Amino acid sequence: MGGASSRDQSAEASNTSLFSEDELKNLKSNFESGGVEKVTPLIQKKVNDLDNIELNIAVTGEAGTGKSSFINAMRGLQSEDKGAAKVDNKETTVEPTEYKHPSLPNVILWDLPGIGTVKFPANKYLKEMKFKKYDFFIIISHPRFTENDVKLAQEIKRLGKKFYFVRPKIDTDLDAVKRERREFKEEEELEKIRSYCITSLQEAGISSPQVFLISKFDLHLYDFDRLSKVLEDDLPSLKRSVYILALPNLTLEIVEKKKKELKKRVWMLASLSGVLGAVPVPGVSLGCDIGILIGGIVHFRKCLGLDDASLRRLAKKAGKPVEELKAVVKGPMVGEITPDIINRLAWGTSAVVISGLELALDLIPVVGSIFGAGSSLLMTYKLLSGALDDLTENARRVVKAAFGTDENDPK
């Protein structure tokens, strides 16, 4: 009994963390009083929220510190790509400039002018930049954090917002040290730089500053993974999900995180697909909304970086021919998703016996009850789960082909 209870709690956490405790109680209450039809609007609202929620990331710092390069790297772009932020050592930003994520346009990185310039003195900066609209702030500086950076952090803190100090170009700094010294230990040098930054900020009045050392060329190295984990912990659940899905596919760990987030959508989309506008697939007794099912698969593919534009960006980043990455992408999920493909998948799925025990272990009780309302929901759930598994495996192969290593393979 104890083991089953632990497994159920784990399943609840993994499948429903996009819902608050009150929302889950509301789902259960509505299902008990009105069945699947009554919970459908609640699930539809949550899906709409996920599709429409914005994540606004403010990136600020003085000219030449690497703001534009950071913004481009976070979107998987290089400086010469269409839509990339202009990389320049002169302060060219005269007002907040938005840069939307190329695949998820509801994720927006904002390039803010540097604080303390003639046009934006420190005492007017906050009002002009409309700080309240941003979810968190990245304060970028190189080679050291300045008095203006400290003032900015203090004002952000006063507003109750999160901020993080980023020191870019760390690979350049390390290369300079290597040329000067015969003996060089990278971890020791990184710790020296990190400690210097933290101590300087503490002496300037910032308590417990969070400093991250990154490279604009190799974003996945050094402190980027630590920065990403801190952001995930600090963001509320819905925005955390959006942030993870917007990350460039630099490591196998990122791919696994994306799969975990997308898995949370599977049962919601299956519920809607089994209830709304039931359109049967020709040749199979499967009541579902084909548009929702196909739309879900296309969304999974885009988030996992398997659309053509994403593959081209990753190939360019990795310095590989895009054909080399495309060559490892296999299966029906990566081409045009048609009712005929859904039909063939459904025939294969119909042979799978879906036991009540499997659902009890995989879904929380209220969701299990919803699925018990009709076999079409079970079928759609299996179709979406299978598609997500297939796409995730393709994304893994692409990352391995791009970077040629398994060292970041999650254990």
385-408 confidence digits (pLDDT tens): 889 999 999 999 999 999 986 544
**Domain limit, last residue, from 230, 245, 260:** 245
Decide: 42 and 27 in contact? Cβ < 8 Å: yes
Specify the CATH number for the domain of residue 106. Answer: 3.40.50.300
Determine, yes or no, domain membership for 141. yes
Residues 359 and 319 grouped into a single domain: yes
Q: What share of the chain is helix, strand, coil (3-state, %, to 5)?
A: 60, 5, 35
Q: How far apart are the first and last CA of the chain?
A: 28
Q: CA-CA distances (angstroms) from residue 369 to 6, 357, 374, 378?
A: 19, 13, 10, 11
What single-letter amino acid sits at 85? A
| Residue 358: both structure tokens together | 């499997």
User: Where in the sequence is the domain holding 68, given as residue range(s)?
Assistant: 54-245
Mean pLDDT of 59-72: 86
Residue 130 pLDDT grade (very low, low, confident, very high; cuts 50, 70, 90): confident
9-64 confidence digits (pLDDT tens): 443 344 446 788 888 888 888 877 877 778 888 888 888 888 889 999 999 887 77
Q: Which residues pair with 211 in a beta bridge?
A: 165
266-325 confidence digits (pLDDT tens): 888 887 876 654 444 444 435 566 788 888 999 999 999 999 999 999 999 899 999 999
Residues 195 and 217 grouped into a single domain: yes
What single-letter amino acid sits at 46? K
Q: Which helix (H) or strand (E) holds 255?
A: helix 252-275
The most confident of the ranges 165-179, 249-263, 281-295, 334-348 is 249-263
Residue 369 pLDDT grade (very low, low, confident, very high; cuts 50, 70, 90): low
Decide: 139 and 153 in contact? Cβ < 8 Å: yes
Write the Ramachandran bin of 107: left for phi over 0, alpha for psi from -120 to 50, otherwise beta. beta
Determine, yes or no, domain membership for 411. no
Q: Which of 44-53, 66-75, 233-242, 372-381 comes out lowest in average pLDDT?
A: 372-381
Beta strands in 132-225 (DSSP E): 136-140, 162-167, 211-213
Residues 127 and 194 grouped into a single domain: yes
Residues 82 and 190 grouped into a single domain: yes
**Domain limit, last residue, from 218, 245, 272:** 245
pLDDT, greater one: 359 or 134: 134
How many residues does this entry show for the chain? Answer: 411
**Domain limit, last residue, from 212, 245, 278:** 245
d(CA 39, CA 390): 29
Determine, yes or no, domain membership for 152. yes
Q: How many other C-beta atoms are found inside a 10 Å radius of the C-beta of residue 154?
A: 13
What pTM value is reported for the model? 0.84
Residues 332 and 391 grouped into a single domain: yes
Count up the domains in the chain and report the number.
Answer: 2
Residues 142 and 213 grouped into a single domain: yes
Please report the sign of the dihedral spanned by the C-alpha atoms of residue 276, residue 279, residue 285, residue 286: negative
